[in-house]
Amino acid sequence: MNDNALTLKGIVEESSNIVFFGGAGVSTESGIPDFRSETGLYKARAEYGRSPESLVSHSLFIAEPSLFFDYYKKNLIFRNAKPNAAHFALSKLEKEGKILAIVTQNIDGLHQAAGSVRVRELHGSVQRNYCMKCGATFDLDYILDEAHCKDENGVVGSVPFCDKCGGTVRPDVVLYEEPLEQDTVSRAVDAIARADTLIVGGTSLVVYPAAEYLRYFRGRRMVVINKTETSADGRADLVIREPIGETMSAFL
C-alpha cells in the first residue's frame, strides 16, 4: 500500500460522516466512457454530425425523439457494465457507518448495484423511466425491448411507448437545458454541509451547477482523487492522481 493510500485510510478512520462526490471517472473503470471525452465528441460528430450535449438535450428530445433515443441507447446505456472496486469500497464503508451520502453525477446506477443505499443522483438514472402522459414507471429493459418501440402503425423504431396509455416513455435523467431535481439537490447539499470529510473522485469539476455544491463543505478534511487537475485541488488536504478504483481498493 502506497503513502497516499495509507494517508487516505487514516483520514477515513478518523471520520464518521463522509460524503463522496463523484463523476464519470468513477465508472470509466467499469467500461463506461465519458461521453464528453475527445473520443465521445468524435463519435458523436462522425455519426450524427452534432455534439454529445446537443444529442441529449431537451430540445432535441422534443423535436426529434427518434434521433435522441437512437443516440441515447447506443451511447449512454451499458447493460453489461459492473461495479468496480471504487463502487464496492464505498458500499463497504457505508455498511460500516462511515458514509453519510454518495453524491454522483453519473446516471448508470452502479453505486446501487454495488449495494450502496445513500445515493443522491444529481442527473437521474437510466435505470428509471416514466410515461410522460400517465406517469407509469418502467425499468431499463422495458425501453430497450423492441416490442415497446412500435408506433401506431406497428413500425419498430427507437422511441419507447407506454403499454398502458400509448404515451412516450422517457428516461428519468436530467437532459441538457433541464433543471436539476430540487429535492435531490437539497439532500445532496445538506449532506455536503454536514460532512466531516469530503472525498471528490473521478470528476474534473467542470459540470455546473453540480460542481458549485462543494462550496457548502465546512468539514475538516477534503480529498481529491482524479487523474487530472481540478478546481478543488487547492482546497484539498490530499490530492491523489491515481486511478480511483485502484485507490479505493485499499478499503476492500
Q: In the chain, where does DSSP find H-type helix? A: 3-13, 25-28, 38-48, 52-55, 58-63, 65-75, 85-95, 110-113, 140-144, 182-194, 244-248
Which member of 58, 87, 111, 123 is catalytic? 123
C-alpha pair distances (Å), 9 with each of 92, 127, 214: 14, 32, 22
Cell digits of residue 249: 481498493
Active site residue 123: yes
- DSSP code per residue over 59-97: HHHHH-HHHHHHHHHHHT--TT----HHHHHHHHHHHTT
Q: How far apart are CA 169 and CA 136, in angstroms?
A: 9
Largest CA distance in the chain: 64
> To which residue does cell 487530472 refer?
228
Q: How far apart are CA 214 and CA 245, in angstroms?
A: 22
Provide the edge-to-edge strand list for the sheet that holds 124-131: 137-138, 124-131, 169-173
Cell digits of residue 1: 500500500
Q: How far apart are CA 173 and CA 121, in angstroms?
A: 9
Residue 49 backbone phi and psi in degrees, to 5: 70, 20
> To which residue does cell 465521445 refer?
40
Active site positions, annotated: 123
